[in-house]
Chain A
Amino acid sequence: MSKNSFVIAVYVENKYGVLTRVTSMFTRRGFNIDTLTVGETESPEYSRITISLSGDQTDRGQLISQLKKLYNVKKVEVITADKGIRRELMLIKVKNSPENRADIKDAVDVFKAKIVDYSAEALCLEITGDTNKVDAFIDNMKPFGIIEMCRTGIVAIERGADSILSHEE
């Protein structure tokens, strides 16, 4: 993750079409998003969108104030690196061969990844971690031959007992 990247958590109403409204605003305002994930939250009323993007302070301020203007957006909060935990999950399929198998297994152990499927031609691996760790794991797998991979993008939560929904504006 570059040093100018930041992560924003957005609580939106769990309603039809809301994701489109958010992404349409990104397109219209020319924001370049690195990752975006959406999922359920502790409350059935809300979905949580986690966005990571690179940019300067101005971009960050603009993105936040434009998000806050959207009718279905209830809460916008920056999750800073020091206050938050950031994770993403990746599933990656690499070529399996007798001569590489041991090296792959070593890497899996070191990175605390998991082998989730095994066949004579390929191994499916699962890894969770922050972006740097996932990137490093990919670099490790490249020599063995990556067949396919998919990353979820970042999810993030703040440390401590608070919910960001309870934070004051």
Chain B
Amino acid sequence: MRLSGAEIVVKTLIEQNIKTIFGYPGGTVIDIYDQLKKYEGQIEHILTAHEQGAAHAADGYARASGDIGVVLATSGPGATNLVTGIATAYLDSVPMLAITGNVGTTMIGRDSFQEIDITGITLPITKHNFIVHRTEDLADTIREAIRIAKSGRPGPVLVDIPKDVQQKTADYEKAEPVKIRPNRPADDAVVAKAAKMIADSGRPFIYFGGGAVRAGAGELLEKLADKIDAAMGSSLMGLSEVPTSNPRFLGMQGMHGHYASSKAMHKADLIIAIGVRFSDRATGDTSKFSSGAQKIHIDVDASELNKNVETNLSSACDIIDFLKKLIDAVDEKKRPSWMAKIEKLKVQEKEFDDPDFLPEQVVKAASNITTADTRCVTDVGQHQMWAAQFYEFTDKRTWISSGGLGTMGFGMGAAIGSAYGTGKRSVLFTGDGSFGMDMNELATAVTYNVPLTIVVMNNGALGMVRQLQTFFYKKNYSNTTLNRKTDFKLLAEAMGAKGYRATTIDEFKDVFEKAYNDEGPSLIDMRIDTDDLVLPMVPGGGTYDKIICERSDINE
């Protein structure tokens, strides 16, 4: 079948089971949009307000569904607007296909209108990228891009297509959806050594992250923990893989992690690290991080092993295969004194808990009302940490948050994307700062009547930076006080969404119940105190024997 390059692009996406793409038209992708109109019964295109929103939507779609997210943008500014979205996906290992148009091949290199070297720009933030010079290569390049994005450690792949390559014709033959490359199976010797280390351990701690989520390792992690009587904690990226209700799961550890989780990890004599990268947010000062513990590190990506932290046993292999073999290889063993210590840590953690802390009440109230399959999406800042700390996760892939890059402005796009990825309502926790960066996408949510409830934790400040200024910069609140005159309720209404306001927990419960059951998008302006803090806190490069738990721990 002889088709134009643009039609080949769309046919190949359909052939690869891509149902939804996010994007924004422009001069060098008109041909592709022409075809999208023709095939709109088979592939749905969501027009966002900005290309960055489209990139985050593709990312949110992928995180929520476990499938690949696809974004389409024009050359020049369209392509550069994707950069933050692609980098966000790269840092969190999210499978994404970004397609950009470019000026015609004869125009490349001449600084033509809206010409940019997007493959050059995205080189360090993609798993790989392609510029397609021949229409004959288009279908196979897109298939290969999808295969790369989904295989091994997933990540974004960009395909740049000059306009003339879209317009010329080539033969197209339908192909099967690509098969992802299988991961290396776990090595029996590694499994045996891990089992021996576990047998020798008195205080095992399972530390898991985004890699466990990508692999869907939750049940196996729980099974392993039960069999060896271990405590568990996750990085920010590992949240929702194991239900919050599991008593062995102490929650997120790290900079703003749960006290019991961070402390247990620090006191463990064996850390079993699964699908993590020992990020600086998780470890603090690596030279003092759990220096007394033996460490087993399993990840699909060999370059993560011994990168940030030296381990005693590490292997790059399939996590699921490793866990299955390990569960068979280990002996069941009770470790009552370790469990007693864990219980003590939990009690200590409760002592710091302030039942009147409004941000906690808000997140918990929302968490009580939402269904188990609701995606909890966040922007970046204090609200993100409160959501990570206090939201109760039941189903997998219900936590959608920008971890590695920490992208303010991620939330709206990601929440729209995750609603499309699941067909279910998403709840977005954001702040007045973050929402200022992505509120344009409320227009998108209204246009498509996306089931989305937005909770703006409005403290009139850039709270996370303000908190650092409070602690470490003598309260010199340079440029972090917003106190804008924006009325978020009226703003939501002006954009065609429902708007609500709340200042107390009772008001919040009342309006959240309504907002959550609205049909389309709704927003709650939740006023919180400017000086509310995210605690506990291990300062950047700090150590786990000095966790800041209360305001009084700081010399204000």
* Partner-B contacts on A (CB < 8 A): 17, 20-21, 24-25, 27-28, 58, 61-62, 65-66, 68-71
| Closest residue on chain A to residue B307 by CB atoms | A62
How big is chain B's contact interface, by range?
Answer: 10 to 19
With beta carbons under 8 angstroms apart, the residue of B120, B301, B306, B310 that contacts A69 is: B301
Interface pair B306/A66, CB less than 8 Å apart: no
Question: B295-329 toward A: CB 8 Å interface, digit per residue (1/0)?
Answer: 00000011101110010000010000000000000
C-alpha gap A25/B124 in the complex (Å): 7
Interface pair A24/B119, CB less than 8 Å apart: no
Is B148 positioned at the interface, with any CB of A under 8 Å from its CB?
yes
A20-B123, A71-B148 are known contacts. Are A65 and B128 too (CB-CB below 8 A)?
Answer: no
Candidate in B120, B303, B307 with the most chain A CB atoms within 10 angstroms: B303
Interface pair B303/A21, CB less than 8 Å apart: no
Interface pair B303/A62, CB less than 8 Å apart: yes
Q: Which residues of B contact A28 (CB under 8 A)?
A: 124
Interface pair A66/B124, CB less than 8 Å apart: no
C-alpha gap A62/B303 in the complex (Å): 6
Is B127 positioned at the interface, with any CB of A under 8 Å from its CB?
yes
C-alpha gap A115/B120 in the complex (Å): 43
B145, chain A: closest CB distance, angstroms: 10
C-alpha gap A58/B305 in the complex (Å): 10
C-alpha gap A58/B314 in the complex (Å): 13
Interface pair B127/A65, CB less than 8 Å apart: no
Having A66-B303, A68-B303, one finds 20 other A-B pairs with CB under 8 Å, namely: A20-B123, A21-B123, A24-B123, A24-B124, A25-B124, A27-B124, A28-B124, A58-B306, A61-B306, A62-B306, A65-B301, A65-B302, A65-B303, A65-B305, A65-B316, A69-B301, A69-B303, A71-B127, A71-B128, A71-B148
Question: B72-116 toward A: CB 8 Å interface, digit per residue (1/0)?
Answer: 000000000000000000000000000000000000000000000
Interface pairs (18), CB distance under 8 Å = A17-B119, A20-B120, A20-B123, A21-B123, A24-B123, A24-B124, A25-B124, A58-B306, A61-B306, A62-B303, A65-B301, A65-B303, A65-B305, A66-B303, A68-B302, A69-B302, A69-B303, A71-B148
| Closest residue on chain A to residue B131 by CB atoms | A17
| Closest residue on chain B to residue A28 by CB atoms | B124
Q: Which residues of A contact B301 (CB under 8 A)?
A: 65, 69
Which residues 275-305 of B sit at the A interface, judged by CB distance below 8 A?
301-303, 305
| Closest residue on chain B to residue A61 by CB atoms | B306
B295, chain A: closest CB distance, angstroms: 15
Q: Which residues of B contact A17 (CB under 8 A)?
A: 119
Which residues 120-159 of B sit at the A interface, judged by CB distance below 8 A?
120, 123-124, 127-128, 148
A62, chain B: closest CB distance, angstroms: 6
C-alpha gap A70/B127 in the complex (Å): 8
C-alpha gap A28/B124 in the complex (Å): 7
Q: Which residues of B contact A69 (CB under 8 A)?
A: 301-303
C-alpha gap A24/B227 in the complex (Å): 45
Q: Which residues of B contact A27 (CB under 8 A)?
A: 124
C-alpha gap A61/B306 in the complex (Å): 8
C-alpha gap A24/B117 in the complex (Å): 15
Candidate in A28, A58, A62 with the most chain B CB atoms within 10 angstroms: A62
| Closest residue on chain A to residue B133 by CB atoms | A16
C-alpha gap A71/B153 in the complex (Å): 13
C-alpha gap A61/B310 in the complex (Å): 12
Q: Which residues of B contact A70 (CB under 8 A)?
A: 128
A78, chain B: closest CB distance, angstroms: 15
C-alpha gap A121/B259 in the complex (Å): 76
C-alpha gap A21/B148 in the complex (Å): 16
A72, chain B: closest CB distance, angstroms: 8
Q: Which residues of B contact A20 (CB under 8 A)?
A: 120, 123
